[in-house]
Structure 1
Amino acid sequence: MSLPLCLVAPAAAQTPQAAQFGAREAVQQISLSPDGNHVAVIQPDGGPGATLMIADLVEGGAMKGILHSSGKPDRLSECHWASNSRIVCDIFMIQQDSVKLAFTRMVSLNLDGSDLKVLTASNTPRSLGVAQSGGAIIDWGPEGANGSLVMTREFIPEQTTGTHLASSREGLGVELIDATSLRRKTLEQPKTSAVDYISDGHGNVRVMGLRPERTSGYSGDIINYHYRLPGSRDWKELGALDVGGGMPKGFNPYAVDSTANVVYGFDRIDGRRALYSVALDGTLKRSLVLSHPQVDVDSLIRIGRQERVVGASYATDKRQVEFFDPELQRLRIALSKALPGKPLVTFVDSNADESKLLMFAGSDNDPGTYYLYDKASRKLEEVLTSRPRLAGVALANVKPVEFPAADGTRIPGYLTLPAGSDGRNLPAIVMPHGGPEARDEWGFDWLAQFFAARGFAVLQPNFRGSSGYGDAWFQKNGYQSWRTAIGDVNDGGRWLVGQGIGRADQLAILGWSYGGYAALQSSVLDPDLFKAIVAIAPVTDLETLREESRGYVNFPQVDARIGHGDHVREGSPARNAKRIKAPVLLFHGDQDLNVGIGESRLMAGKLREAGGSVDFVEFDGLDHYLDDGTARTTMLARADQFLRTSLKLKP
């Protein structure tokens, strides 16, 4: 069935709030130069493009653009300082062959935008393939090296017939590269099964992960990690990590501390993720660093050019940070007091000697601001605001809540009510998160805030199937355990009505990715509960989701994640479209690598065949995240208009 392409919302659907909230964050990514005198900022334009801006902090913060990406297909993903005068940037793009493939390439350029060079090793006419990965920076050069970086490289073998010059090297290796001259030195010879290298912050690779392929060519489930003793080139066994289909099992190394001679990583204790250190002195002595009895410890905090490990964090009802570095702990407390109303304080980057810190501070109703803190002068200066389009807009408070599921289990979530509202008899939206291996947290959320600004109460449930709460909460994941997950989502809607917050005749559901799946599947489970459904880039058929990955090396893991059995048919909205009574609005980008646009096209077709009401908006050239301010504005305006029409609300 041929479906219409719609990119522009009717003028009547446009609202000032749609443009304000649809604009992307003004700071996509930011980094501080080694001397602390400049910041490099990736700033979006109004569409899908972005520009690398350089701000001179000494001369008052004047900004100059030095590199632009169109967003179709090239996208600036992140930029860092190789030296005070040289910057390296990672560029992402999607190309269509027999399947859609993502490619990255690394470039370097001077502070003024001159002397642009490609750091990623180029192919030769003899190459027997093309590297998808353009490399990843895992460290900066050894002390004394100015403008060099330690970077992974995907080696491609060459045709050897008729030449003695061809290279047979294949797999992932590591090189030391001068960011200006492009001189290259191989630090780690490539290995076909290598997938991970971890350096020690001083240019020495200390940990390596090998993931043998299956005989079919697909990736295996086990990553075997190895380590080196200080000063040695020999590899010793560290341990195995099982990544097959569910929660990883085993020690997952993240960062090496060369001073303590340990590697930090995550493993499970009592069914929850915890932070451990393992000695790299030959004893493999293992120490528990941080755990929590209710939630997973899920984030390692690192700072500076050496990516020094300084703490870890976890999320209960709000994000909690525990610093191992006493100075940073004292500083965080002091800065929180100096910035009242902005309790979410994060150290983003630092200069070479950590005397200047680039930090972010925000809250639930404050999108946040980037600051520079000078330890010597104790001076805190504002650098950039995250969302200047929202300056002066009254934003809503976000309240952690719990509600009962049908079996009595208390489901955590977050409730956002319109600013100034009494929180009674409101049109309401349940907004399940994506993943499903994810969770919502307390803080600023542009989607929830937009709909609160438009008068809706918004509930974001961390249903069973979410990550962050341990293995028992995760169950088999949100697909195989869909009845529990979707049941919790629906119980959130019933709770809104039962508490008098929302009205039964003005209750809607909206979600993105797995959240879009949950929005559609919620009405398969209870057709009468929600009166309108908005699904953005949704999974709609589990068998189709499985087949989308067949041409990729991770197919066995996706296959195991989805599983086999009646739940595949029963848990696929497109196969149960006849049960969906509420009107549906779908959005999807045609370059989506996470969930193919065919899933929304299938869903729209099945709903029409069943006599349902469905509108479908396709976005040309955009992927899963619709990273385009114009597209997001259109999406918000169309969704707002759709909900107001479906729920019989005033424009």
Structure 2
Amino acid sequence: MIAWLRLLVFATALLVAAHADAGEPVHLTSRDGTVLNAVLIRPAGEGPHPAVILLHGCGGRDARAGGLDPRHADWARRLAEAGFVVLLPESFTSRGQGPQCAVRERHILPWRERRADALGARDWLAAQPFVRADGIALMGWSHGGSTVLATADAPGFAGFVAFYPGCSRTLRAPSFAPAAPLLLLIGEAEDWTPPGPCRALGERAGPVVTYVGYPGAYHGFDAPGARVRLRTGLAFTVRGDGTAHVGTDPAARSDAIVRVPAWLAERTGR
């Protein structure tokens, strides 16, 4: 009987831990009026805590089998353990859309809908008693990284982090003046979102942008345990043939895992 009770307690603990890792589902309103589904993960302690909004790429926030995509889950856990409130809004499924990586005529754009989503997420976090309104940062990958660039001129953020964004459109703009420091990380072997425009953007913007290029790394270099492979059928790639390499680069991932939380802590006063 005692052994059975111990097993029940252990199983219950596992379920509670799994639920905590999955986060809490919440809803918030984008600046364009769309109601977004989001996942909230809170650190230990009542706070108030600094916070990070995580913006998914063109593949969406979640894994096909359900739950957060492994990269998003990994970063959310690490940032929550570092003392940040983490919020992950979903821009595509909230509007009845699926993954956008193969879609050329996109109706959800970084500088339009997704910028509105980022601002709405910030509004929601700033109203929460467990969040420090002056310590909210914005971080995104690929399509979400491009959204970070498109939102970087907005006041109210303590810092911005963009992983392998598309920088060409921002580089063509007359000016680029982030309202807070921006950390830009990209693989120098990128053949999906080219590093050249991002490097040039950082040089033009000056010290407000910290550019980090990882030699030999491809798109998705920070994913946990993803083998390097060639993806096909993509809408926009460097070669224009719909193919690009994706996968983990252990050295780049290790550096980012250390660099990003430390950089965010410095910017948010963690």
Give TM-score scaled by structure 2 length: 0.73
| Structure 1 residues 577 and 639: CA distance shift in structure 2, 3 A | farther
Cα distance in structure 1, aligned partners of 2:265 and 2:158: 11
- Superposition deviation, residue 529 in structure 1: 2.0
Counterpart AA for 2:40: L
Corresponding residue to 1:509 among 127, 134, 138: 138
- Superposition deviation, residue 408 in structure 1: 3.9
Cα distance in structure 1, aligned partners of 2:98 and 2:188: 36
- Once the two structures are aligned, what percentage of the paired residues are identical? 25
> For each residue in 1:155-201, what CA deviation from the matched residue of structure 2 results, as whole angstroms up to 9, or x when unmatched?
xxxxxxxxxxxxxxxxxxxxxxxxxxxxxxxxxxxxxxxxxxxxxxx
Cα distance in structure 2, aligned partners of 1:409 and 1:468: 8
Corresponding residue to 2:62 among 420, 440, 447: 440
Corresponding residue to 1:602 among 200, 203, 209: 200
Q: 1:648 aligns to what?
A: 269
| Structure 1 residues 406 and 452: CA distance shift in structure 2, 3 A | same
Cα distance in structure 1, aligned partners of 2:56 and 2:98: 19
Cα distance in structure 1, aligned partners of 2:122 and 2:139: 12
Q: Is 1:449–2:69 an aligned residue pair? A: no
Corresponding residue to 2:190 among 577, 581, 592: 592
Counterpart AA for 1:453: E
| Structure 1 residues 531 and 607: CA distance shift in structure 2, 3 A | same
Matched-pair contact (CA < 8 Å) for 2:53–2:122? yes
Q: Is 1:486–2:84 an aligned residue pair? A: no
Corresponding residue to 2:180 among 553, 562, 582: 582
Corresponding residue to 1:495 among 116, 124, 128: 124
Counterpart AA for 1:534: V
Matched-pair contact (CA < 8 Å) for 1:520–1:573? no
Corresponding residue to 1:425 among 48, 57, 61: 48
| Structure 1 residues 576 and 432: CA distance shift in structure 2, 3 A | farther
Unaligned runs of at least 5 residues, structure 2: 1-9, 222-247
Cα distance in structure 1, aligned partners of 2:131 and 2:174: 27
> For each residue in 1:60-93, what CA deviation from the matched residue of structure 2 results, as whole angstroms up to 9, or x when unmatched?
xxxxxxxxxxxxxxxxxxxxxxxxxxxxxxxxxx
Matched-pair contact (CA < 8 Å) for 1:505–1:531? yes
Cα distance in structure 1, aligned partners of 2:186 and 2:141: 10
- Superposition deviation, residue 407 in structure 1: 4.6
Name the count of aligned residue pairs: 224
- Superposition deviation, residue 457 in structure 1: 0.5
User: What secondary structure does 1:505 align onto?
Assistant: strand
Corresponding residue to 1:633 among 248, 254, 260: 254
Counterpart AA for 1:522: T
| Structure 1 residues 433 and 576: CA distance shift in structure 2, 3 A | farther
- Superposition deviation, residue 484 in structure 1: 2.0
- 1:218-237 aligned within 5 A: none
Q: 2:39 aligns to what?
A: 414
Corresponding residue to 1:623 among 205, 218, 221: 218
CA RMSD of aligned residues (A): 2.9
Matched-pair contact (CA < 8 Å) for 1:521–1:573? no
Matched-pair contact (CA < 8 Å) for 2:35–2:94? no
Cα distance in structure 2, aligned partners of 1:541 and 1:477: 19
Cα distance in structure 1, aligned partners of 2:19 and 2:141: 20
Q: Is 1:541–2:136 an aligned residue pair? A: no
Q: Relative contact order: is structure 1 or structure 2 higher (C-alpha 8 Å, sep ≥ 6)?
A: 2
Unaligned runs of at least 5 residues, structure 1: 1-337, 344-361, 366-395, 543-571
Higher-helix-fraction structure: 2
Matched-pair contact (CA < 8 Å) for 1:589–1:597? yes
Higher-strand-fraction structure: 1
- Superposition deviation, residue 468 in structure 1: 7.4
Matched-pair contact (CA < 8 Å) for 1:440–1:461? no
Cα distance in structure 1, aligned partners of 2:138 and 2:152: 10
